[in-house]
Structure 1
Amino acid sequence: MSSSSPANVTCPASPVPDFCNTIVTNPDISGIGVVASWLHENEKAFRDTSRNSFTISGGLIISSLITWKTRGLSLFDALIVSMLTTISTTFVSVNFPYIRTLGLSINVASLVFTAFWCYWGLQIWSSPSTFGLPPDIANCSANKDTKFVAFVTVSPLNPGLRGFALFIFAIGVIPALGSLRYSIVWLLRYWRTGSEIAKDNAAYRFAKEMRRKRKTHITRFGGLTGLIYMIVTTEVMIARNVSTKEALSKWSYGQFIAMAMLGQQILDSFLYLKQLVNEKHRRLAQHR
């Protein structure tokens, strides 16, 4: 009886994305699960704190950079990332006077995120006609076929849109430099007086100034308006790029993890609402 050697078993090769002529989408970056978890996190940030917003948005940019450098990333996915993370930069700019009083960690987080956001945007808009395309293939049509939405549908290759986007990402250096300055200031304060005393003194001075000017700590309505605009614009952009809808409707492992992380955030939202109601009842009781 002759012995037979086991047959060689090989795994099928993964299909290579056609970045040249097809609008390629990565569900782990721009899929519905990731978009939903990101939007919830930023809405919570507008109501409570900005630290989670920086973490989620910065992580999205870093993962996109790694994907772009290793496996390739389409212009469509890159634009979705820039749109989702731009709302965090708006939050930084609007609420910078408050953020600068919150201590060292939040200012460092603001610095790191804003720096990555500026770099990412400049990489995309410096040459949108060739971003993500294979360098050794000519006459690619994927980027020409991509549609960008800014109130109206426009090609990302439009010179006016490109110039405006470069201007926006360039002036993002201003809040980055502000965060760098206050990171250094907070580091010196921690070294001189300790973290708790430094935070208490800064919070007291800021609250006193806000009472004098009759302002609130966080500009919520402007942020909410921007958040709604980004939700609508992102969904419209996905809808206008018809070839991407089927790919993004499928669930991936990355999307499942992103949605699973929502459990804690939903619980935090309910706890925050409960805290808000209790605080309102306490104030009403004090005035009786």
Structure 2
Amino acid sequence: MSIQCNSIDVSDYCTQITSNPDISGIGVRLALYVQALLSMSISSFLWDNEKAFRDTCRNSYVVSGSLTIATLIAWATDELSLFDALITSMLTTLMTTFVAVNGTYIHSLGLSINLACLIFTSFWCYWGLQVWANVSTFGLPLGAQNCTANEDTRFVVLGHSVHATNGRLRAFAMFIFALGVVSALHALWVTVSWVLRYKYDGPQESKRDAAEQLARRQRLRQERGRGSQHVVRFGGLVGLIYLIVTTEQMVAWNPDVSQALRDWSFGQTLALIMLAQQIFDCASYIEETRRVRRKQAQHASNQSRV
């Protein structure tokens, strides 16, 4: 994702709610929404296709990580408003929902995926804490006086519009991202454990042992019933829908930016191109899984006749 060269005057960041279409545009938002829903669907319906889950998970980290890097670049060049920062934190939180629901499976997939999980979680925590710790002054020009842009920026909580600088909202957001630090430390521990496994047992043996342990846990869950698993996945889907609806409400209820974000940009085109490839891949995974399951059903039927 690229960063546009904005023609906005620096003073506008002080008095107006500004936006960057390459970061918060409809194309970027749509790509993240569909990516999150694809990832959740793959993990729910193609749970026995490890390649599908691994590739979808990797793509999710790439898309979310690209958005985070683009946002950090804009922030470093003083071309990022509080509104764009909040939208980025909402969009990347979509990925954390997927990770929370599928953490056990992700931890069994080897070093590369868990290293990606560690990097993403660390960046997500860092970014969220940076934004909310300085929410009243974030993105404002240094030394500027009587700035109103951040106070005018609206955030949405359970369908209600509140000022983004609200003290209670800030405290709650800081608490959530502080909890994310615990997840980042856990991801660090899992990554280090994989490094040690690779060193002493080798990559193939380590992955085989992890797959066998995961298979045993899944069999135990099936014996106990799948009710709890369905509840967790349903909760994750509800969380995704809430984040999507809330993000769109934030765009709609900040009228200074809703019109600007309808403009198209190269970053949005790139995000949708990446999404198109992932949709094609998912279609091939579905067909592949269907063939495998059909063969398994035929084999089981033949065995029962013997």
TM-score (normalizing by structure 1): 0.89
Structure 2 residue 289 is matched with structure 1 residue 281: no
Shift of 1:36: 1.3
Structure 2 residue 192 is matched with structure 1 residue 179: no
Structure 2: gaps (5+ residues):
1-5, 43-52, 302-306
Alignment of 1:147-166 (within 5 A): 147-151=154-158, 152-166=160-174
Q: Which amino acid aligns with 1:80?
A: I
Q: Which amino acid aligns with 1:196?
A: Q
Q: Count matched residues.
A: 276
Shift of 1:15: 4.2
Structure 2 residue 90 is matched with structure 1 residue 97: no
Spell out structure 1 runs of 4+ moving beyond 6 A: none
Contact kept in structure 2, 1:76 and 1:146, CA below 8 Å: yes
The equivalent of 2:129 in structure 1 is 122
Aligned equivalents of 2:275 and 2:60: distance in 1?
13
Structure 2 residue 22 is matched with structure 1 residue 28: yes
The equivalent of 1:9 in structure 2 is none
TM-superposition CA deviations, 1:119-147 (whole Å, max 9, x none): 11111111211110112211111111111
Aligned equivalents of 1:235 and 1:114: distance in 2?
24
Shift of 1:282: 3.3
The equivalent of 1:4 in structure 2 is none
Q: Which amino acid aligns with 1:93?
A: A
TM-superposition CA deviations, 1:87-122 (whole Å, max 9, x none): 212222332222111111111111111111111111
TM-superposition CA deviations, 1:173-194 (whole Å, max 9, x none): 1111111111111111111121
Aligned equivalents of 1:280 and 1:236: distance in 2?
41
TM-superposition CA deviations, 1:197-241 (whole Å, max 9, x none): 110111111111221122569954333222222211111110111
Aligned equivalents of 1:105 and 1:218: distance in 2?
29
Aligned equivalents of 1:81 and 1:198: distance in 2?
36
Aligned equivalents of 1:278 and 1:221: distance in 2?
27
1:160 and 1:15, CA in 2 relative to 1: closer, same or farther beyond 3 A?
Answer: closer
Contact kept in structure 1, 2:97 and 2:240, CA below 8 Å: no
Aligned equivalents of 2:273 and 2:221: distance in 1?
42
Q: Percent identity?
A: 49
Q: Which amino acid aligns with 2:234?
A: F
The equivalent of 2:50 in structure 1 is none
Shift of 1:268: 1.3
CA RMSD of aligned residues (A): 2.0
Aligned equivalents of 1:274 and 1:284: distance in 2?
15
Whichever of the two has the greater Rg, that structure is 1
Aligned equivalents of 1:159 and 1:87: distance in 2?
24
Aligned equivalents of 1:150 and 1:200: distance in 2?
44
Structure 2 residue 31 is matched with structure 1 residue 37: yes
Contact kept in structure 1, 2:14 and 2:140, CA below 8 Å: yes
Structure 1: gaps (5+ residues):
1-12
Aligned equivalents of 2:259 and 2:70: distance in 1?
23
1:30 and 1:14, CA in 2 relative to 1: closer, same or farther beyond 3 A?
Answer: closer
Aligned equivalents of 1:74 and 1:60: distance in 2?
15
Q: Which amino acid aligns with 1:239?
A: A
1:226 and 1:270, CA in 2 relative to 1: closer, same or farther beyond 3 A?
Answer: same
The equivalent of 2:49 in structure 1 is none
Q: Which amino acid aligns with 1:28?
A: D
Contact kept in structure 1, 2:154 and 2:253, CA below 8 Å: yes
The structure 2 residue matched to 1:226, chosen from 230, 239, 242, is 239
Q: Which amino acid aligns with 1:209?
A: R
**190-199 vs 24-33, which moves further:** 190-199
Q: Which amino acid aligns with 2:74?
A: T
Structure 2 residue 9 is matched with structure 1 residue 16: yes
Contact kept in structure 2, 1:95 and 1:218, CA below 8 Å: no
1:156 and 1:50, CA in 2 relative to 1: closer, same or farther beyond 3 A?
Answer: same
TM-superposition CA deviations, 1:39-90 (whole Å, max 9, x none): 2222222223422222221221121111111132111000000001112122
Aligned equivalents of 2:155 and 2:261: distance in 1?
17
Aligned equivalents of 1:287 and 1:218: distance in 2?
30
